[in-house]
Chain A
Amino acid sequence: MGIYDFTVKTNKGVEKNLGDYKGKVLLIVNTASKCGFTPQFKELQELYKTYKDRGLEILGFPCNQFAGQEPGSNDEVQTFCRANYGVTFQIFEKGDVRGETAQPLFKYLTEQKKFEGFDENHPIAAKLVEALKQNFPEYLEGDGIKWNFTKFLVDKEGNVVARFEPTTNPASIAKDIEALL
């Protein structure tokens, strides 16, 4: 079983076999409408614009499993969201990414690349860990997806070569993408 054996549905309901992406570098991300905490759509879109002509595809999988759990008090948290309009990379059908109900693709990805910790220097790291402890302590265990915007980098042969946690900004993955193009 490899990455190209998975079939998923786009947000328009069209079936897409990941084998269609053979020869491309892939960045597979669980996305969420962003509400202040993990604002990474914009940087993902910038990566896509920069590298799509050289063979990068970004595949976004919206997931609501972490919704409504914005950490911090109302004073610290922005009380607005950004929709994902303006994003031109492929967005797929909404689905779960962790636990029993996780989509097979994400079970596979998290088996291929284990959780190796957050970047504790990232500005959201401490808040994220605190929010997880409060709301989903079990999420801190094991290799499952911890939060929105976990990113998996796949090379042109379909090998899952890296996993980046929500505490890694998309812009800082540019060098890893370039190395595979």
Chain B
Amino acid sequence: MVKVYSFEACPWCNKVKKYLDSKGVEYEVHDVELNAEDAAACEKLTGDTAVPVLTVDDKNYILGFDKAKIDALLGL
């Protein structure tokens, strides 16, 4: 399952979600402001506190809104 670490007032997070919606990709939203465990997991994955972070396998991830990288990771 595709995971998107994000928070509500983050415009780049919303762009990632909208892009996935437009491609018909299902994903789980992990809100790093509302959920401390998600925040910790995201920081552990990336070593940073920035979002959006998109991951499929909890190892490889994409930070930020980058269509080309998202397409490559998800094989779109």
Contacts and interface: CB of A to CB of B under 8 A. Distances in A.
Interface of A: 33, 35, 64, 67-68, 70, 78-86
B12 A79 contact: yes
B12 A35 contact: yes
Contacts of A68: 11
A64 B9 contact: yes
A81 B33 contact: no
A85 B11 contact: no
Given A82-B49, A82-B50, A84-B33, A33 B7 contact: yes
B20 interface: no
A117 to B, nearest CB: 29
Interface in B56-74: 63-66
A64 B12 CA distance: 15
A70 B7 CA distance: 17
A34 to B, nearest CB: 9
Interface of B: 7, 9-13, 15, 32-33, 36, 39, 49-52, 63-66
B54 to A, nearest CB: 11
Ranked nearest first, the 3 interchain pairs of A and B with the lowest CB-CB distance are: A79-B64, A81-B10, A80-B64
A57 to B, nearest CB: 22
Nearest to A85: B39
B9 A86 contact: no
Contact of A80 (B12, B33, B36): B12
Contact of B9 (A33, A78, A79): A33
Contacts of A35: 10-12
Contacts of B7: 33, 81, 83
A17 to B, nearest CB: 27
B39 A81 contact: no
A33 B32 CA distance: 12
28 contacts: A33-B9, A33-B10, A35-B10, A35-B11, A35-B12, A64-B9, A67-B9, A78-B64, A79-B64, A79-B66, A80-B51, A80-B52, A80-B64, A80-B65, A81-B7, A81-B10, A81-B11, A81-B50, A82-B49, A82-B51, A83-B10, A83-B32, A83-B33, A83-B39, A84-B33, A85-B36, A85-B39, A86-B49
A35 B52 CA distance: 11
B36 to A, nearest CB: 8
